[in-house]
Amino acid sequence: MTVTDTQVTWLTQDAFDRLKSELDQLIANRPVIAAEINARREEGDLKENGGYHAAREEQGQQEARIRQLQELLRTAQVGTAPSSTDVASPGTVLTVKYDDDDTEKVLLGSREEGSHGDLQVISPNSPLGAALLGAKVGETREYSLPDGGTMKVTLAGVAPFTG
């Protein structure tokens, strides 16, 4: 992936601060995990040392999360939602109408954004989010379902996210 291929992730300031705090805690915890691995290594035979393998597994998971957070924060666009109310873009609240006339309001943004009451967050990388990204109000789009089928949705409204 090149720098030009990197997708910007829209986040509120609160979400950015929360993720930055999590990253700082994980980085600060690195010496603790390393000390745990060393202590378990001293116990002897590594082939049958469950504590050692568990500590290594935890270290791997933490390092993966650190890399994920670093990339997310590096590409984050922090601040106010887009003011445009005619095109679906990250940081907007979309009113989506399904084939069966059900409607739903969703926030188009990062799943890392967290929940906002009853407002579901959908990623622009998800099938539904990708289908709606760039759609204009009144436009109907189709997206793939997990079972291999497709569903049509109509963008009924776009509003800036107000937090």
Q: Which pLDDT belongs to residue 77?
A: 74
Q: Which pLDDT belongs to residue 18?
A: 84
**112-124 per-position pLDDT tens digit:** 665 566 778 888 8
User: What does the domain layout of the chain look like in residue ranges?
Assistant: 3-78, 92-160
Mean pLDDT is highest, among 21-35, 67-81, 119-133, for: 21-35
Looking only at the bridges linking them, the beta strands covering 120-122 and 140-144 are unpaired
Q: Is 81 helix (H, G, I), strand (E, B) or coil?
A: coil
Which whole-number Å values give the CA distances from 72 to 75, 151, 157, in the listed order? 5, 30, 28
If one compares 9 and 80, the residue with the highest pLDDT of the two is 9
Q: Which pLDDT belongs to residue 4?
A: 41
Would you state the CATH architecture of domain 3-78?
A: Orthogonal Bundle (1.10)
CATH of 92-160, one of 2.40.160.40, 3.10.50.30, 3.30.420.10, 2.40.100.10: 3.10.50.30
If one compares 159 and 79, the residue with the highest pLDDT of the two is 159
**125-162 per-position pLDDT tens digit:** 889 988 998 899 999 999 988 898 888 999 998 887 77
Q: Which pLDDT belongs to residue 64?
A: 93
Read off the pLDDT band of 36 (50, 70, 90). confident
If one compares 43 and 97, the residue with the highest pLDDT of the two is 97
